[in-house]
Amino acid sequence: MAGVLCFGGSRELHRPSASRHPALVGMARYQTLQKIGEGMYGVVYRALDRITNEHVAIKRVMLDADEGVPCTAMREISLLKDANGCDNIVRLLEIHVEHGALWLIFEHLECDLHHFLTSTNQGLPLSAVRPLLYQLLLAVHHCHANRVLHRDIKPHNVLMRRTPATEPGAGPDGARPWTLKLADFGLARVFNLPLRAYTHEVVTLWYRAPEILLGLRTYSWSVDIWSVACLLVEMLNGKPLFPGDSEIDQIMRIFRGLGTPDADRWPSIAALPEWKGCYPKWRAQPWAQLVPALADDPSGQDLLARMLWYDPDERIAAFDALAHPFFDGLDKELFHAATRR
């Protein structure tokens, strides 16, 4: 059995048809080159599209003999369709069911943020971070506007490519030298009001919001904002903000950095299942110490403080973050024009 889907709407991708190449139908169209990733729900390969001669990323998900397509894969496909329409979200090009597996064909990007930061071996300048953060917030806002929680925003799931020379802002001195795209919706969920209970076993530990660490089950979009803030600091510092090795170590690192929260800063904290009133009472470290690159940037400090706000109900939304003065001076039309194309 073989099936193909192309997701369209305002971002319809016109794929060259395989009908002119009868020998290249289905997965025969793609030549696997190398494995580039492996997760809980599948293996990802870099491959060559034999028709377009372009690289793609292929995610292989094995089918269950009794259940068929795993519910996790169906959820990812559905949520990617819901999130379609933003140039800063990775595009799902086709779906094939062949050889006992589900094959998801994605556009391929040069690297992820983790490898990009590793290759530089240092933090990025503010001039480079601003356009990257703005694009990430565009993706997150688009998800949240479509009621999608990503729940696993981390450097490995943020993909990057050099902006093509044919697009505005390209080049090392351009306003948008790199195009950024949010990927891997395997842990994503749809959220509605009233909020429903979710598992706390989401979001890689270093990027996990404190409300999840403290046992809150009815969390919402604010958990993604916390993760984005951690990525902002990692881009500037060149290393993770809170690299804990266990859940208790993670929450302790957060408290040591941002100060131990109390009822004034987080009114509902005493009701959280894992909250202990006996935590050490640390004072918040100065932003200039936590993020030296923001020492002389009050607007950057303010945005970061709003994104790392303890009370999730008061944490800044992606929509409001996009309008923050930190991004004054950016040619925002470049990024919105890319999304409208």
DSSP code string of 287-335 = HHHH-GGGTT-HHHHHHHHHHT-SSTTTSPPHHHHHTSGGGTTS-HHHH
Instruction: Identify which of 257, 304, 253, 287 has the alpha carbon closest to the alpha carbon of residue 129.
Output: 304
Separation between Cα atoms, residue 301 and residue 287, nearest integer Å: 7
Question: Binding site annotation covers 59?
Answer: yes
82 is catalytic: no
**Which of 49, 87, 112, 152 is labelled catalytic?**
152
Written as one letter, the residue type at 240 is: P
Q: At what angle do helices 332-340 and 126-145 cross, to 10 degrees?
A: 40
Separation between Cα atoms, residue 124 and residue 178, nearest integer Å: 13
Asked if residue 87 lies in contact with residue 180, where contact means CB atoms within 8 angstroms, the answer is: no
Angle at 229 between CA 138 and CA 81, to 5 degrees: 35
Catalytic residues: 152
Binding site feature residues for ATP: 59
Residue numbers in the known binding site are 59
